[in-house]
Every structure is written in C-alpha cells, then in structure tokens.
Amino acid sequence: MNRFLIMGPPGVGKGTQAERLAKHFSIPTISTGSLFREHVRNGTPLGLEIRELLAMGRYVSDEITNTVVAERLTLPDAEHGFILDGYPRTLAQVDALDAILAQRSAELDAVIVLEADRDQLIERILLRAVEQDRSDDTPEVVTHRLDVYSRETAQLISAYDARGLVVRVDGTGLPHVVADRITEALRAL
C-alpha cells in the first residue's frame, strides 16, 4: 500500500511533488482545499456549511474536515493508496485520521516532510507572487505564514516521528531532482 501524507512549509513544492508521486504510484492526491471547493461548487449540505464559514472568515471545523476526508477515502481510487496534502493540520485531526484508517484496517505508510531554507522559501514565494500577480503575498504575509506553519506543524511532525513514519527530504532544486530524493527516501524506509 502507498498511503502517504506530505507536509512542508508554504512554497516548498508540496503540490508539485504530490502530483508527481500520485502519477508514480497511480494513487490520488487528496487536498482538503480541493475537497472544500468541490463541496461548495456542488452545493452539498457540507458545501453550504463550508461556504458560510468561509464567508464569515472562519476556519472549517475539524469535524467537517474529518467528515470530508473520511468520505473521500471511501472512494474506489483511494483503495490502494493516496497522498494527503493539507491534512491533518491539528493533533485532533491526527487522531481522527488514525480512526478513519483503523476502520479500514489501514494506517499511513510514510509522512514525507519537505524541507528548505527559510530565506529560499521567502524568495521562491515572492517570485511566484510576481509571476502569478498575487498581490496578497507580501514579505510580511509570507513571513507570517511560515511562522504559523512552524508553530502548528512541529507537534504533528513530532507525533509522526515518534511512530517512525517521517521521511525528511530536501525540497530545494529542480522538481524532478526532489521527486527522485523522495522516491529514494521512501525506498529506504
């Protein structure tokens, strides 16, 4: 089985690497952001609730997030593996994911943590902001997002590290080079 979680700070290339891994292993990438947008677009009961929360500037609750992920993991394409991107984000969500997988007599195979130098990340995100005309990615906002990531995910990485699931990979360099590093690290695990 290939059940992975991919983590890393903003700008490290999680989305790019998740897509590459998905193709390599023929498994889906499951992103909570995409799942939320799909529910909103389809006007599902959860989608209406998500739309209302986001309109008020609130975060989607753990309960809704866990439900959306649990539903997605029941689809046939996730039966032989998946890559979770953006979930879990809290220790409560780690516990919920454990329970979701236990119901299927499954567990995570690896937690891929992409790492990069903070200054490189800031430079990369600011360059992307210019290329994609994203005026909301100012140096202050980028620095804040990196601080929040560090604060919120340190305990998640520690929890998974204690289980021997964490694979740390240098996320700098060309995408195919990083992909090769990930594949090699997973083989070594």
What are 20-39's pLDDT values in tens digits? 999 999 999 999 989 999 99
Local confidence band at 151 (pLDDT 50, 70, 90 cut-offs)? confident
Active-site annotation holds for 14: yes
| 3-state class (DSSP) for residue 107 | coil
CA distance 107 to 164: 13
CA distance 50 to 64: 8
Per-residue pLDDT, 120:
92
Q: Taking a C-beta distance cutoff of 8 angstroms, is the pair 97, 88 a contact?
A: yes
* Segment 122-132, tens digit of pLDDT: 998 888 888 88
Per-residue pLDDT, 54:
81
The closest alpha carbon to 95, from 133, 118, 65, 123, belongs to 65
Active-site annotation holds for 89: yes
* Segment 65-109, tens digit of pLDDT: 999 999 999 999 999 999 999 899 889 999 999 999 999 999 999
Q: List the chain domain ranges.
A: 2-188
Cα 30–59–139 angle (5° rounding)?
Answer: 85
Return the structure tokens found at 156. 């998640």
CA distance 122 to 64: 32
| 3-state class (DSSP) for residue 146 | helix
Annotated active-site residue in 14, 20, 72, 124: 14
The CATH code of the domain at 2-188 is 3.40.50.300
Annotated active-site residue in 134, 151, 163, 168: 134
Least confidently predicted of 8-17, 84-93, 114-123, 146-155:
146-155
Active-site annotation holds for 145: yes
User: Which helix (H) or strand (E) segment is 24 a member of?
Assistant: helix 14-25
43 backbone dihedrals φ, ψ, rounded to 5°: 65, 30
Q: Is the pTM of this model over 0.85?
A: yes
CA distance 116 to 149: 13
Active-site annotation holds for 168: no
Q: What is the mean pLDDT of the chain?
A: 92
Annotated active-site residue in 51, 118, 145, 168: 145
Active-site annotation holds for 41: no
| 3-state class (DSSP) for residue 155 | helix
Annotated active-site residue in 37, 51, 118, 128: 128
